Structures are given as C-alpha cells and as structure tokens.
Amino acid sequence: MNSAKGLLIVFTGNGKGKTTAALGMSMRAAGHGMKALILQFIKGLWTYGELRSFEKLEEVTIKPIGSGFTWKKENLEEDRRLAKAGWQIALSELERRYYDILVLDELNVVLAYGLLDKMAVVDALEHRTTPSHIVVTGRNAPDELIAIADLVTEMKEIKHPFRDRGVKASKGVEF
C-alpha cells in the first residue's frame, strides 16, 4: 500500500447495484493481491451469497454488523448501538492501515436514519490520512459526503421486477 491518501468513493441512488459495485471493486482488488474489508451496516444474520463467495478469498473479509431491515422497525435503539459499534470498527481499521479497500456498505442509510452523527462521519472521512480507498454505499448519500468524495456514482432505477411485476427477490441477484 502506498502512503498517499486513498480515494473516497460513493455509490448512491434508488437503483440496484450499489453494493454489487463495491463488492466488485473488492474482487478486483483481491485479484491484485490487495486486502479489502466490507462492513455491512444494515445486513444482519440472513445468509447472503456474498458471504459464501468471500469465504473463499483470503484477501477479502466481510462482516455483517447490522440487524436487518432498519426501515421496518419501530425502535431503532439496537440499530443505533450496532451502527456506533460498526463505525468504531471502521475507525479502528482505518487507523490500523491493514486493508487497501474499506467498504462501508449501507452507511448512507445509517446516516439518513440519524443512527450516527452525520457531520462526525463526514469529518472523519474528509480528514483521514490513510492510504486505504473508502467505498460508501446506500441510498440518500448526504450532500456533505458527496461534496468531499472523489468519485460519486448514482444508480438510477428505470425498471424493477418487484415494483413493476411483483417478482420477489431472486437468489444470486438480490441476495
């Protein structure tokens, strides 16, 4: 890993592909012998395909740290606690400088729900000195994060099988 400050990359928007793009970057990095850490802020204990895939790659570590679908809960205290614990893991890993890429999956959702102090997160990401590339995913990226990012991609939904035809989530596509 070089000593320059890594890129801050944001994948946002209402379309599919934000997490998938971040996972693809992690796979690409692994192909170059780089190490990636994926912290999943929302996903809970359900078995996702990416968990099985990344078990086979020693360069990529994936850690679900959330409790599931936040937007379906009335009490977000557990999610707030898990988000704070996850953010502390992220900060510790940045300080440790072991990973070349740190994916903060669904961090934008965590910020949109007010589970973490948005400005504290933005400030930490803006003033980091780590050479690690940071990838932040999730809908509703805050303007403050977009402003400091090096690369921002917005996924835009054109058609969706569930919304348009009632087709349920597909194994290998959504999970």
- Token pair 């209402």 is found at 14
Strand partners, 101: 36, 133
Structure tokens at 75: 């009490």
- The active-site residue out of 71, 81, 97, 129 is 71
CB 5 within 8 A of CB 94: no
Q: Taking the model in full, what pTM does it have? A: 0.89
- Please, what's the b/e burial string for 128-160 (b: 16 or more CB within 10 A of its CB; e: otherwise)? bebebbbbbbbbebbebbeeebeebeebeeeee
Pick the CATH number of 8-165 from 3.40.50.2300, 3.40.50.300, 3.40.980.10, 3.30.230.70: 3.40.50.300
pLDDT tens readout for residues 95-111:
999 999 999 999 999 99
pLDDT tens readout for residues 11-63:
999 999 999 999 999 999 999 999 999 999 987 666 677 777 788 788 899 88
pLDDT tens readout for residues 133-150:
999 999 999 999 999 999
How is the chain split into domains, by residue range? 8-165
- The active-site residue out of 11, 12, 18, 50 is 18
pLDDT at 65 over 60: yes
- The active-site residue out of 5, 20, 144, 153 is 20
46 is catalytic: no
73 is catalytic: no
Phi, psi of 153 (to 5 degrees): -125, 130
Task: Return the closest-CA partner of residue 7 out of 121, 149, 120, 107.
Answer: 149
Structure tokens at 90: 């992220």
